[in-house]
Structure 1
């Protein structure tokens, strides 16, 4: 059983990336087989012996400033990646990194998943994870100059080439991107799941663009117009925010649909433990200003319990009337 720790949805392609923390005992054989693949062996050079790979992985897993991942692409475990705090990495010996710099290493292990554009998906997903979860200020990547698949990340993903590095095992191109540059070029996706209506699940990521905001309002509009009572369970990345224009669009839509929302959206349960957000949701301004109840809950489990109670109460009211 794999525990997914992070999910990324690509706005451009619709591909899904899931992060699974590497477990040495469970995953060693998989990683070992990938390291023997010709396209991996020539750059990672960890196919020579079992002991060499064991020592490498155990050393990496022992570093608090580094995390190792299995990556699932559209439901199939296909890749391996490392994320690391650059000031504590050997990269600091070759390039003047600063606080807030994080780096990534990656490989696609499954040969059947090559030449499908998934390297870009992985770089996008890893960067999004580092900016939203690790609070990175800049992401660095230093691929071998012979890895042609990553030579276009300047134009396609918005990275800037800083030069070349002469590392012991390779000559590498060094690329970097800041958080602002990344989300300008690679907007996040607001995800929604209405497969369990009358429960609607929404997730708001870091920095969705205005089009993404318009799309989720359209979805909410479609659901509301069915005139079926529902409850929203919403989760948010730590640093999510809308643009000023998107906020105006949202407030306009709420104002235009206030009456129908008040009737059919029974509540929005926001999963949060942030003290300031809880105070905001419980404030008089929020209670009087929103067409539905906004209720803070500490976990998804609590949200599900409350949602079921709200729906049950509404059913009793409906039957009584």
Structure 2
């Protein structure tokens, strides 16, 4: 039980690199590794304090603020923090979470093994549709491979973030509806496991 939610017992979180593949379109390796607070804190702090990221995440703050934020997530069995890399150079931060224990669960019929994602590209050089196609497909593939019982991957970008919503739709996510969190109007994006995206 988490609060009033009954859910499966979650496995221990992995450590280190969890996913790697070569993207022939970019001529680069895309990889995902777990966040290391000592290694990644300054980078995370810099990313969160950039105006573009602040506009959507609203998590700006000091190094101490961000250490506390990341330590809380490290202790939370429902969230896995990840760093995305191109050719082993960090460019993005992702949170992968079990949707049933998350704030998104009341807004749709969350399954026991549904996963959700929060996404942040911190390095300006790695923005753009071709890069998003690479890392979003890799992140999706990792979560579908991580547990074969995961039937859906969900996300809740701000409803007015048309660019990100368009990128997600290009990768097979459907915009199901809009709903209100206390801090934002969100769009529910859902990708269903299919034979095609299991390859």
What is the aligned partner in structure 2 of residue 128 from structure 1? 141
Secondary structure of 1:117's match?
A: helix
How far apart in 2 are the matches of 1:179 and 1:11?
24
Q: How does 1:1-321 map to 2 (within 5 A)?
A: 3-10=16-23, 15-135=28-148, 136-153=150-167, 155-180=169-194, 184=196, 207=199
What TM-score do you get using the length of structure 2 for normalisation? 0.82
Measured after TM superposition, the shift of residue 16 of structure 1 is 2.9
SS in 2 for 1:127: helix
Task: Give the CA deviation at 1:6.
Answer: 1.2
Matches of 2:31 and 2:168 in 1, distance apart?
Answer: 24
Once residues 102 and 9 of structure 1 are traced to their aligned partners in structure 2, the CA distance between those partners, rounded to angstroms, is 24
Cα distance, 1:91–1:62 mapped onto 2, change above 3 Å: same
CA deviation string 1:147-174 (max 9, x = no partner):
2322224642121111012112221111
TM-score normalised by structure 1 residue count = 0.53
Q: Which has the higher contact order (CA 8 A, sep 6+)?
A: 2
Question: In 2, are the aligned partners of 1:46 and 1:52 still within 8 Å (CA)?
Answer: no
Q: Secondary structure at the match of 1:151?
A: helix
Cα deviation 1:213-260 (Å, max 9, x = unaligned): xxxxxxxxxxxxxxxxxxxxxxxxxxxxxxxxxxxxxxxxxxxxxxxx
Aligned to 1:317: none
* Count of aligned positions: 184
- The DSSP-based 3-state class of the residue aligned with 1:80 is strand
The answer on whether the counterparts of 1:108 and 1:119 sit within 8 Å (CA) in structure 2 is no
Deviation track 1:271-309 (CA, whole Å, cap 9, x = no partner) reads xxxxxxxxxxxxxxxxxxxxxxxxxxxxxxxxxxxxxxx
Name the SS of the counterpart of 1:55 in structure 2. Answer: helix
Give, in angstroms, the shift of residue 68 of structure 1: 0.4
Note the residue ranges of structure 1 that are not aligned, 5 or more in a row.
187-205, 208-321
Corresponding residue SS for 1:19: strand
Question: Contact (CA 8 Å) 2:41, 2:63: kept in 1 or not?
Answer: no
CA distance in 2, matches of 1:12, 1:156: 16
1:13 deviates by 5.3
Give, in whole Å, the separation in 2 of the partners of 1:173 and 1:76.
Answer: 31
Whole-Å Cα distance in 1 between the matches of residues 25 and 188 of structure 2?
A: 25
Where in structure 2 are there 5+ consecutive unaligned residues? 1-14
Determine if contact 2:96/2:115 at 8 Å carries over to the other structure: yes
Q: Shift of the alpha carbon at 1:40?
A: 0.7
Distance 1:7 1:98, change over 3 A: same
Return the structure number with greater helix share.
Answer: 1
Q: In structure 2, the residue corresponding to 1:64 is in which secondary structure? A: coil
Q: 2: CA distance between counterparts of 1:116 and 1:86?
A: 26
